[in-house]
Structure 1
Amino acid sequence: MQNAVATFAADNPRLAQVYFYLTDYKNKPLDQTAFNNMDQYFQKLKQYHLQAVLRFAYIWDDAHPKSQEPTTEQVVAHIKQLAPWIAQHRDQIANLQAGFIGAWGEWDSGARSRMNEKEILQAMLANTPKDLFIQVRYYNIKSRNVDPQSSDWQRVGFHDDYLIGRPHVWNTAGADPNSAEWQAMAKQSQSVPVDGEMIWGSANASDNNGQLISAPLIAQRLAAHHFTSLSIAHNYKEDGKDYSLSAWKRQLVTPALLDQYKLPYQKLWFKDANDNEVSRSWYEYIRDYLGYRLAVKDISYQNDEQNIDYQVNLTNYGLAAPVLINKAELVLLDAAKNVVAAKDVTDIAHLQPLQTLPIKWQVDKALVSQAKYLAFKFTGYSNTGNRLANNINFADGYNYLLTLN
C-alpha cells in the first residue's frame, strides 16, 4: 500500500480499491488470522485517510477457476461471518462490490451458471448495513435478483470494469446505448454510486486497436451513467509507461469543447482567484467533475422585526449526484466556531448535474445576534467535512459563506 500511495500522491486519491481474496478459505470458515489481516490493512487505510471500495473474491487464477471456486453454501457462510466485521468498519467503506463469484469477483457467465447468484446477493443485502451500497458488475445481476419494489433495489449500484471509451459487450449494460438495459442504468445511476475501471494500458494494443483511450468519449460515458469513482491504477502509468491518463494531462479542454460534448462545467473553473483565464486539461476535468461538484451559486436574505430569512442556492456541476453524502447542514457559528443554530439539508444526495437546490432557512434574530458566520457543512460516512467548489474559506469541515455583522 505504501508504494501505491507514493505512486499516486500527486493525484490525491480519497478511495482505494481493496480486494480481499479468501482463496485459502474456500473449504472452511474464516479464522481469526483472516480478520487480523483485514484489520491491519484497514488500519493502514485509516493512516492514509483512504476509504475502501471493497470486494471479496476467491479466484485469482482465471486459467484454472474451478480449482479456487467455493460452493454457494461456503460463500453464504463467509458472508454471515463477515457481517459484524463489515458493520464495525462501516465508516471506512465507501461501497461494497458484490464480488465473491468468478475470477476477480467479476461474475463471469461460467461462474454465475455454477453458483446460486441470487442466494449470494440476497445474503449480502441481508447481512450488511442498510445504508451501505452494494455495486454489481452487470445490470442483469440487479434486475434478475433484486425485487424492484423492495428497499434493497435502491441499495444496488454498479461497477463497470471494462471502460474503453466506446460501448462494448463487456460493459455493465452492454454495447447498445439504445437498449432497455442501457437506459435503465442511466436512470438508476442518478441515485446509486457507480465505479469505473479502464482496461490496463498494456491491453490497449489488443482491446483498443493500439490506441489510447479517448478522454472525451470516457467523459461522455462517465456522464451518461453518472459515475462516482474511477480507478487511476489502470491505463495511467503502470509498467513505468505513459498511457491514457497521462496523455489526458497534455490534452487541453475548453468551454467550447465541453459544450460540444454536452458535458457540465462551472464557468469559474476556467478562472483563477484573480479572475484570470487558466488552461485546463481533460485529466483535470475528469478529476474535478467525476461524481459531484457542489458550489454555492448565490446567497440572499431578507429580514423583518423577528427573523432573518436566508436562501442559499446550491448547484451541482458534477457528473453525478452526491449519493454518498449522508449529512448536510447550514450552520450559524459564533466567534469561537461553536454552533449557535443549524438546519439540516435533507435532499442534497439527489441533486442532479446542473440542478440547483434552494436552501431556505428562517432564523430568529436573537440567534443571529450571537453568531459571526454562516457556514455550510456536508459529510459522508467517514464524517469528514467536504469542500465546496467556491473560492471561500474552508476549515474544520465548514465552508464559510458569510461573515455576519
Structure 2
Amino acid sequence: MKKRPLSRILFFLLLLLFLVLFAFLGIRTFYHAAYTPETCTETVEELSNPYIGFYHMYGYVPGSDTLSNLPSDDNSDPEEAPGLVMLELNLRQFSNEDLSDLALSQIDTILSAWQKHGAQVILRFLYDWDGEATATEPQNLEQILRHMDQAADIVNRYTDCVFLMQGIFVGNCGEMNNSNYMSDENCTVLMQHLSSVINPSIFLSVRTPVQRRKILDSMELPSAETAFDGSLSSRLGLFNDGMLGTANDTGTYGETSASADTYRSAWVREDELAFQNTLCNFVPNGGEVILDNPFNDLDRAISDLTQMHVSYLNSEHDLAVLNKWKNTVYDDEASIFHGISGYDYIGRHLGYRYVIRGTSLDRSSLTIQLENVGFSVNYRRMDLLLTLVSDTGEVLSYPLSDDSRFWTPGNSTELSVSLPLRELEKGTYTVYFQMTDPSLQREIMIANTFSHSEYGFQLGTFELEKLM
C-alpha cells in the first residue's frame, strides 16, 4: 500500500485549520460596534411616577353623596400626570342593611371617574369619620361580610387603578381600633374573607405588624420564591397612621422583644422596624406622620422611613411635621440632594427611584447598571424595552425579562440584552431604554438627565461596521 507524502497530509491539516479559523472569525469578529454611552448624571428633580409619593384624600358617602368632588378625565398636560389618591368610602348609611343599588352605582361612578383620570387608588371602606365606630358599625359581623361581597363585585372591575385597600372596614376612621370587631378571631375572619373576594392583584393592608402576624397566625414573611404569588401573606402590607408620632408610633409597636418567642405580641420599635425592613420589600407600607417630636426630626425620619420601605404618605396630615420638614435643609455635602428641603428629599425617595449608573456594549451584549435609591421597590412589575433607532429610521425593539419587583432599595441591578449585530445593516444606531407600567400604560421616569423621546431615555449610540 502506497503511503501519502507527508507534505500532502500537512496541506490538508493546514486547510482544515484555515476553515475552522474562518468559521470562527466569521461568527466572532467580522463586524465591529463602537459604542459611545451618554453621561449617566443623576438628577435631583421630582419624578412623576405611579403608586408612590404624597397622596391626597377624598371622602364619599355612598347612598347620600352628590359626588361633587369627582375629578376631570382631561389629562392632556403631561406635566400634570395623575398621582396617588386615597378614597374613603363611608358606608354609615347602611350599618344594618345591604348597600342599595344607588350606593353601588355611586361606588362604581367614583372608581370609574378616578380610573379615567389616570390616578392610582388607595381604597378604604369604613363606617366612621368621627371616632364613634362602635356606634356606627353594623350590629353583626355577617353584615360587614355582606358589604365586602357587594363592594368586591365593583372593586374588581378596577384592578388597573386600585393599587391597595386599607383595613377591614371597621374601627375609628377605618383604622382597626376602638371597634366591636377587633378580637383576633374577628380580624382574621374579616381579612381572610376580604382576601377571598378581592382580586389577588390588589394589595391589602392592616394597621400594625402584630395584626398581620395574628391574622396569619405566624411570623411568616414573603420570600423571593413566594412573593407576589397571590396568597394572603404575599399581598398583606401595612398602613401606619401614627407614623413617627412617639417611641411606639402611638400604639403601633409594643414593649415585647422579638426574641421573647411570641409573635402574637407587639414588639419594641427596634424589632418592629427590623420586621418591616424585610416584609416591606415585598408588600407596600405607608400612612400618615403625626405629632411634631424628635422621632420625626429629619435625620431620624429618613432613617426610619428607609427601614420601613415607605412608599406613600398623606400630603395633608400632620402639617406640623410636614412643615417642619419643609423648613429643614437636607445637609449632606456628599449628596446631590444637599441643600434641598427635607420635605423634598423625602418626597423624592418615597417608593422607588431608579438611577442608571452606567451602560456598556461588549461584543453583542448591551449592559445597563441600574440602582434603586428610593425607600421601596415598585410592587407592580414593569415592562422593560431596549430600542435601537438607525440613522435610516429603522426601529428595532428588544424586551428585557428582568423582574423589576426585586430591584430592592440601596442595591444595584445589572440588565443585559444580546443584540443581533451580525444581522443589522451597517450604520449609526441610537440606543433607548424604556420602562412601562402595563396596567396603566404609563412610562416610568428615571432619575437621570438623559434626553427623552417616544422610545424612552437615550443611553448612547454605536457605529456598526461590517468588515467583509
Please give the range of the TM-score, normalised by the shorter of the 2 chains: 0.7 to 0.9
Shift in Å, 1:89: 0.8
Find the aligned partners of 2:329 and 2:359 in 1 and give their Cα distance.
33
Shift in Å, 1:312: 0.4
Is residue 35 from structure 1 mapped to residue 104 from structure 2 by the alignment? yes
Indicate the residue corresponding to 2:241 in structure 1.
Answer: 161
Indicate the residue corresponding to 1:216 in structure 2.
Answer: 299
Is residue 392 from structure 1 mapped to residue 462 from structure 2 by the alignment? no
Check whether the contact 1:159–1:172 (CA below 8 A) recurs between aligned residues: no
Find the aligned partners of 1:338 and 1:14 in 2 and give their Cα distance.
35
Q: Select the residue among 214, 230, 235 that pairs with 2:318.
A: 235
Is residue 254 from structure 1 mapped to residue 331 from structure 2 by the alignment? yes
Alpha-carbon distance change, 120 to 108 in structure 1, aligned in 2, over 3 angstroms: same
Aligned 1:183-202 pairs, distance under 5 A: 183-199=274-290
Shift in Å, 1:404: 4.6
Q: Which amino acid aligns with 1:330?
A: L
Please state whether the residue corresponding to 2:444 is helix, strand or coil. Answer: coil
Shift in Å, 1:372: 4.1
Check whether the contact 2:277–2:307 (CA below 8 A) recurs between aligned residues: yes
Q: Which runs of 4+ in 1 moved over 6 A?
A: 2-6, 10-13, 335-339
Q: Which amino acid aligns with 2:442?
A: T
Q: Select the residue among 88, 94, 113 that pairs with 1:25.
A: 94
Find the aligned partners of 2:139 and 2:453 in 1 and give their Cα distance.
49
Alpha-carbon distance change, 367 to 317 in structure 1, aligned in 2, over 3 angstroms: farther
Q: Select the residue among 187, 190, 193 that pairs with 1:120.
A: 190
Q: Which amino acid aligns with 2:304?
A: R
Aligned 1:166-181 pairs, distance under 5 A: 166-168=246-248, 170=250, 172-174=252-254, 176-179=268-271, 181=272
Alpha-carbon distance change, 292 to 376 in structure 1, aligned in 2, over 3 angstroms: same
Please state whether the residue corresponding to 2:172 is helix, strand or coil. Answer: coil
Q: Which amino acid aligns with 1:361?
A: V
Indicate the residue corresponding to 1:226 in structure 2.
Answer: 309
Identity of aligned residues (%): 21
Check whether the contact 1:340–1:367 (CA below 8 A) recurs between aligned residues: no
1:375-395 per-residue CA deviation (whole Å, 9 max, x = no partner) reads: 221326323111000001234
Between 26-35 and 152-161, the greater mean CA deviation after superposition: 26-35
1:218-260 per-residue CA deviation (whole Å, 9 max, x = no partner) reads: 2222111110111111023xxxxxx33233223211225xx8x
Check whether the contact 2:127–2:133 (CA below 8 A) recurs between aligned residues: no
Between 368-377 and 84-93, the greater mean CA deviation after superposition: 368-377
Q: Which amino acid aligns with 1:15?
A: L
Shift in Å, 1:341: 2.8
Check whether the contact 2:134–2:178 (CA below 8 A) recurs between aligned residues: no
Aligned 1:285-364 pairs, distance under 5 A: 285-303=345-363, 308-323=364-379, 325-334=380-389, 340-364=396-420
TM-score under structure 2 normalisation? 0.70
Check whether the contact 1:137–1:159 (CA below 8 A) recurs between aligned residues: yes
Please state whether the residue corresponding to 2:442 is helix, strand or coil. Answer: coil
Structure 2: runs of 5 or more not aligned: 1-57, 59-67, 73-78, 256-267, 464-468
Indicate the residue corresponding to 2:40 in structure 1.
Answer: none
Between 370-379 and 182-191, the greater mean CA deviation after superposition: 370-379
Alpha-carbon distance change, 67 to 186 in structure 1, aligned in 2, over 3 angstroms: same
1:112-141 per-residue CA deviation (whole Å, 9 max, x = no partner) reads: 039721111001111112122111111122
Find the aligned partners of 2:172 and 2:393 in 1 and give their Cα distance.
51
Alpha-carbon distance change, 109 to 144 in structure 1, aligned in 2, over 3 angstroms: farther
How many correspondences in the alignment? 366
Aligned 1:48-59 pairs, distance under 5 A: 48-59=117-128
Larger RCO: 1 or 2 (CA < 8 Å, sep 6+): 2
Is residue 91 from structure 1 mapped to residue 160 from structure 2 by the alignment? yes
Please state whether the residue corresponding to 2:275 is helix, strand or coil. Answer: helix
Find the aligned partners of 1:400 and 1:3 in 2 and give their Cα distance.
40
Shift in Å, 1:315: 0.3
Between 46-55 and 353-362, the greater mean CA deviation after superposition: 46-55
Check whether the contact 2:159–2:201 (CA below 8 A) recurs between aligned residues: no
Is residue 138 from structure 1 mapped to residue 208 from structure 2 by the alignment? yes
1:190-225 per-residue CA deviation (whole Å, 9 max, x = no partner) reads: 2111012023xxxx4xxx57x895232222221111
Q: Which amino acid aligns with 1:106?
A: E
Q: Which amino acid aligns with 1:301?
A: L
Find the aligned partners of 1:122 and 1:19 in 2 and give their Cα distance.
21
Alpha-carbon distance change, 94 to 82 in structure 1, aligned in 2, over 3 angstroms: same
